[in-house]
Amino acid sequence: SQKIEQNSEALNIQEGKTATLTCNYTNYSPAYLQWYRQDPGRGPVFLLLIRENEKEKRKERLKVTFDTTLKQSLFHITASQPADSATYLCALIPNSSGDKLTFGTGTRLAVRP
CB 50 within 8 A of CB 64: yes
Taking the complex as a whole, the smallest distance from the CB of residue 30 to another protein amounts, in Å, to 11
Size of the site for another protein (CB under 8 A): 20
Q: Which is closer to another protein, CB of 8 or CB of 18?
A: 8
Q: Using the 8-state DSSP alphabet, how is residue 18 labeled?
A: P
Q: Which of residues 42-81 bind another protein (CB under 8 A)?
A: 42-46, 49
Candidate ranges 18-26, 62-70, 78-86, 87-95; the one touching another protein (CB under 8 A): 87-95
Note whether 1 binds another protein by CB under 8 A. no
Number of neighbours of residue 81 by Cβ within 10 angstroms? 12
Taking residue 107's Cβ as centre, other Cβ atoms within 10 Å add up to: 21
- CB distance 30 to 92 below 8 Å: yes
Report the candidate in 95, 100, 106 with the shortest Cα–Cα distance to residue 27. 95
Query: Does 106 contact another protein by CB under 8 A?
Result: yes
**Residue 10 near residue 109, CB atoms below 8 Å:** yes
Single out the residue of 11, 62, 74, 101 in contact with another protein (rule: CB under 8 A). 101
**Smallest separation (angstroms) from another protein to the CB of 86:** 12
Residues in contact with another protein by the rule CB under 8 A? 32, 34, 41-46, 49, 87, 89, 93, 98-103, 105-106
